[in-house]
Amino acid sequence: MIVNRTPIRTSVNYGINEVDIQDLKIHSKVVEFNNLTILGDSSKFDIYTNDDNNQVNRKDLVYGNGKELEEEVYEKANQNIKIGVNNSGTLNLEFELDDENKCLIDNINIISNSKKQATIVIKYGSDDAQEYYHNGIIRVDAKENSRINIIVINLLNEKTNNFLSIENILGQDAIVNYTIVDFGGKSSISNYYSNLIGQRSKANINTIYLGNTEQLFDLNYIAELRGEKTDVNIEVQGALKDFAKKNFKGTIDFKKGSKKSTGNENEYCMLLSDKAKSKALPMLLCTEEDVEGNHSSAAGKVDKKSLFYIMSRGISYRDAMKLIVKAKFNKILETIKDENLKDEILKEIDTKLD
Amino acid sequence: MKTDIEEINRNIYDIKNKDEYDFKIKKGLTKEIIEEISKQKNDPEWMREIRLKALETYNKLELPTWGPDLSELNMDDIATYVRPKTKMTDNWDDVPDDIKNTFDRLGIPEAEKRSLAGVGAQYDSEVVYHSMKKELLEQGVIYTDMESAVRDYPEIVKEHFMKCVPMSNHKFVALHAAVWSGGSFVYVPKGVKVEIPLQSYFRLNSPESGQFEHTLIIVEEGASLHFIEGCSAPKYNKVNLHAGCVELYVKDNAYLRYSTIENWSKNMMNLNTKRAIVGKNAQIDWVSGSFGSHISMLYPMSVLNGEGAKTEYTGISFAGKNQNLDTGFKVIHNAPNTSSVVNSKSISKNGGICTYRALTKINENAKGSKCSVSCESLMLDDISRSDTIPVNDIRNDDIEFSHEAKIGKISDKTIFYLMSRGISEEDAKAMIVRGFAYPISKELPVEYAVEMNNLINLELEGSIG
């Protein structure tokens, strides 16, 4: 199935306009998913779950992973969640896939009312036993002056296909920060779209990915700046081991009217094996004069000097490598305040790099 | 507050000659037309076969599903072969007056006298003038038109023609192979250093026609060459098509510098293909200025096949009203320790669209390779468009790769700084735009600076208000 198309196509020969996932079938029947844990200040949020069908958002995504996967969410979702942010607070949603909950199709709708601040952690995890399936949509409607931090953690096993579409709409002075930890999945296909309509709204995305074995990561991040003085920052750091592959597609699109806006995009891929493959398509699109857009993209192996320095202190090659990767990821990991969660991620880095 | 930056003054390019020709093929593209072109050109059998095979390929291939909209182009309206009323000569006096005047106005004979080792001039589909300094001839350098090369050096041509760029590469290169006419052939023997540049100039005069020149350059081991290509056409209301093909072979330890100043008229579809295969420790440098044409799709490519091969690309494009310039650079690192440096600039104004579309590919075997890409786009108003669409495909870990791009307008701070030093606002802006283009213009040969100045004649008019 062809998924995750870029907003603008380039030469077909480059093989980056979309990604083809073999043997992917839309589920005809989906059973219940009962392994969701909600933690945190749940009293500060209005939470509606599956029961209330009227609360399901079926509005077409502007981009998304593709029509078929989108339809699957509207028709088959076994977790429909609507969250209204009425007071400032933190909320954790932890989905854990296992033998009794093999398939998760979630539709999460977050509406942040004006002047509210909240942090919502959404974690997708699984045991290692078998192949599972995840397909989800996360939508955020950030009203004026609200500030929302979303942390998405993907620690699914490496047999499972993971699909996620994210769509945000930002009102005046709204700030939406994402921290995405993308470690799991046989194929992990994610689409992120922010529509910065409100003046002075701001979208930040900080992503780390870590691939080993034959994992495939396809990241398609799109930000459209429409309001005046809006600001977008995309920061993607990653490392690829073994035969892992990554496609990063980042688009910053300055639409007419986005005067005095800025957009920055920075992507760095550490290559830890000579069989790993890294593709990047950092796009800047611009139809407005008075804006400033920058992107940079780089790739390379771990700095020999740093490696030598650390090893000269009696640390093994493997541990030195882990230290360097963790150091690179640290800036982004620091946005996660939950220490337990951070420890879990650091442990996962150790496991993957062993 | 806006300062108007004038578009290029095209007067000297827009002077049209009467559409006089010796032979103009029927419009459109059929097997009969290809056969007729082949007959008119006295092709050997093998070339006729290439043309017919290319036509088949052309019919099979689809238009690209990306890039600028090409729907204005209707091949049934384009005459693919127009033979001017003259024979090729090596004496400007033998060139008919109207054609000679055209090249005079473009400054070609003058430049030849002053600073070129050889000149080729093509008018519509055929080369009308070709000559080279005697000393080079004595060193075994061959510089001639493609037709003579097919006739006189069939073995070399057969070995290289459409081998660097396969005709199945895309629809317009297949079209080129089917109807190609004119162009230059250069052969620099082993170890020969050609100190002064050679130049070919392509002029398309006839309306509703196409130019499909083929340039084939072979720089043998340890040899070096600087080749300059210029193109222009007067403006007509109907669409003209340029689908040339440039094949460059830079053998081990050789050096080639390929400079292009393209200033087609604003009704031209410029769908050109350029590619170089670079051998061990050899180097190809591209200098490219794109100013003209209605739509351009032009992505020169370096294939670094030999260990230690190098390439540099320095390009600028300037898109004004009704122009869509989709250009960029492609490089494939296909051997260890290869390196590439890319520096691209673009300016969009008056509704023009500039797109930088590129590919950097570092293959598994290209250990120790380095690549650095930088592109900058300047937007001069808010009705224009500027896009950057680069693909980076990295397939081994022992490399250094970096890419950076910037989009923006002329910085208010810089203008303020210059004005605080007593420079007027117009002068400050002019200075900044010239400074922006400088890294490219300094790479151009001095002789071309005159033409370049004509082209980015960025005179700022005091329309501040």
Search chain B and give the residue with CA nearest A261: B408
pLDDT category, B464, cuts 50, 70, 90? very low
pLDDT digits (tens, 9 = 90+) for B116-159: 777 888 888 888 888 888 888 899 999 999 999 999 999 999 99
B451 to chain A, closest Cα gap in Å: 29
pLDDT category, A127, cuts 50, 70, 90? very high
Chain A partners within 8 Å of B340 (Cβ): none
Query: Which helix (H) or strand (E) segment is A293 a member of?
Result: strand A292-301
pLDDT score of A54? 62
Judged by CB atoms closer than 8 Å, whether chains meet at B405 and A271 is answered as no
pLDDT digits (tens, 9 = 90+) for B5-64: 555 556 667 777 777 777 888 887 899 999 999 998 899 999 999 999 999 999 999 999
Higher pLDDT, A43 or B299: B299
B365 to chain A, closest Cα gap in Å: 9
Asked if residue A193 belongs to a domain, the reply is yes
Counting residues of chain A whose pLDDT is more than 90, the rounded percentage is 82
Angle, vertex CA A245, rays to CA A241 and CA A251, nearest 5: 125
A169 to chain B, closest Cα gap in Å: 24
pLDDT score of B246? 97
pLDDT category, A248, cuts 50, 70, 90? very high
Measured CB to CB, residues of chain A less than 8 Å from chain B are 8-12, 14, 16-17, 254, 256, 259, 269, 271-301
CA atoms A319, A324, A325, A327: torsion sign: positive
Counting residues of chain A whose pLDDT is more than 70, the rounded percentage is 99
Domain span including residue A272? 2-301
Judged by CB atoms closer than 8 Å, whether chains meet at B408 and A291 is answered as yes
pLDDT digits (tens, 9 = 90+) for B153-192: 999 999 999 999 999 999 999 999 999 998 999 999 999 9
Quote the mean pLDDT of chain B: 86
Judged by CB atoms closer than 8 Å, whether chains meet at B392 and A299 is answered as yes
pLDDT score of B465? 24
Q: Which residues contact A113 (CB under 8 A, 6 or more apart)?
A: A84, A85, A86, A143, A146
Helices (H) and strands (E) in chain B, counts: 12, 27
pLDDT category, A328, cuts 50, 70, 90? very high
Query: Which candidate, B62, B68, B77, B76, places its Cα nearest to that of B295?
Result: B68
CA dist B435 → B263, B415, B440 (Å): 21, 13, 10
Quote the mean pLDDT of chain A: 93
Query: Range with the lowest mean pLDDT among A46-50, A123-127, A175-179, B221-225?
Result: A46-50
pLDDT score of B133? 84
Query: Range with the lowest mean pLDDT among A55-69, B104-118, B360-374?
Result: B104-118
- Whether B367 has a pLDDT exceeding 70, the answer reads yes
pLDDT score of B12? 65
- Which amino acid belongs to residue B425? E
Angle, vertex CA A224, rays to CA A218 and CA A229, nearest 5: 135
Q: Which residues contact A348 (CB under 8 A, 6 or more apart)?
A: A155, A183, A210
Counting residues of chain B whose pLDDT is more than 70, the rounded percentage is 92
Determine the 3-state secondary structure of A10 from DSSP. coil
Asked if residue A48 belongs to a domain, the reply is yes
Chain A partners within 8 Å of B415 (Cβ): none
pLDDT category, B357, cuts 50, 70, 90? very high
- Whether B458 has a pLDDT exceeding 60, the answer reads no
pLDDT score of B459? 33
Which letter does DSSP use for residue A65 in this model? S
Chain A partners within 8 Å of B395 (Cβ): 277-278
pLDDT score of B453? 54
Q: Which residues contact A208 (CB under 8 A, 6 or more apart)?
A: A180, A181, A182, A236, A237, A238, A329, A332, A333
pLDDT score of B428? 81
- Whether B455 has a pLDDT exceeding 70, the answer reads no
Asked if residue A283 belongs to a domain, the reply is yes
pLDDT category, B1, cuts 50, 70, 90? very low
- Whether B346 has a pLDDT exceeding 50, the answer reads yes
Judged by CB atoms closer than 8 Å, whether chains meet at B359 and A293 is answered as no
Determine the 3-state secondary structure of A299 from DSSP. strand
Judged by CB atoms closer than 8 Å, whether chains meet at B389 and A8 is answered as yes
- Whether A267 has a pLDDT exceeding 70, the answer reads yes
Asked if residue A315 belongs to a domain, the reply is no
- Whether B456 has a pLDDT exceeding 70, the answer reads no
CA dist A186 → A107, A182, A243, A274, A352 (Å): 22, 12, 12, 20, 13
Judged by CB atoms closer than 8 Å, whether chains meet at A282 and B406 is answered as no
Tokens representing residue A324 in the block: 């360097």
Judged by CB atoms closer than 8 Å, whether chains meet at A16 and B391 is answered as yes
Q: Considering only the beta carbons, identify the residue of A275, A285, A297 that sits closest to B387.
A: A285
pLDDT category, A91, cuts 50, 70, 90? very high
Q: Considering only the beta carbons, identify the residue of A274, A291, A293 that sits closest to B396.
A: A274
Chain B partners within 8 Å of A286 (Cβ): 377, 379, 385-387, 407
Query: CA Rg, chain A, in Å?
Result: 20
B349 to chain A, closest Cα gap in Å: 10
Asked if residue A345 belongs to a domain, the reply is no
Asked if residue A184 belongs to a domain, the reply is yes
Search chain B and give the residue with CA nearest A264: B406
Q: How many domains does chain A have?
A: 1
Judged by CB atoms closer than 8 Å, whether chains meet at A289 and B381 is answered as yes
Task: Identify whether the C-beta of residue B332 lies closer than 8 Å to the C-beta of residue B364.
Answer: no
What are the backbone angles phi and psi of residue A315, rounded to the nearest 5°?
-100, 140
pLDDT score of B447? 56
Q: Which residues contact B437 (CB under 8 A, 6 or more apart)?
A: B316, B345, B347, B456, B458
pLDDT score of B449? 55
Mean pLDDT of the B72-99 span: 83
Q: Considering only the beta carbons, identify the residue of A8, A293, A298 that sits closest to B407.
A: A293
- Whether B334 has a pLDDT exceeding 90, the answer reads yes
Which letter does DSSP use for residue B193 in this model? B
Search chain A and give the residue with CA nearest B391: A281
pLDDT digits (tens, 9 = 90+) for B275-319: 999 999 999 999 988 888 899 999 999 999 999 999 999 998 888
* Per-residue exposure over B248-281, b if at least 16 CB sit within 10 Å of its own CB, e if not: bbbbbbbbbbbbbbbbbbbbbbbbbbbbbbbbbb
Q: What is the residue extent of each domain of chain B?
A: 12-298
Search chain B and give the residue with CA nearest A292: B408
* Interface mutation vs chain A, best among B391, B406, B410, most A CBs within 10 Å: B391
Higher pLDDT, B102 or B179: B179
pLDDT category, A50, cuts 50, 70, 90? confident
Report the alpha-carbon distance of residue B78 to residue A272 in Å, rounded.
53
Judged by CB atoms closer than 8 Å, whether chains meet at B397 and A301 is answered as yes
Asked if residue A149 belongs to a domain, the reply is yes
Chain A partners within 8 Å of B64 (Cβ): 11-12
Higher pLDDT, B415 or B116: B415
Higher pLDDT, A287 or B438: A287
pLDDT digits (tens, 9 = 90+) for A184-203: 999 999 999 999 999 999 99
Beta-bridge mates of residue A191: A165, A220
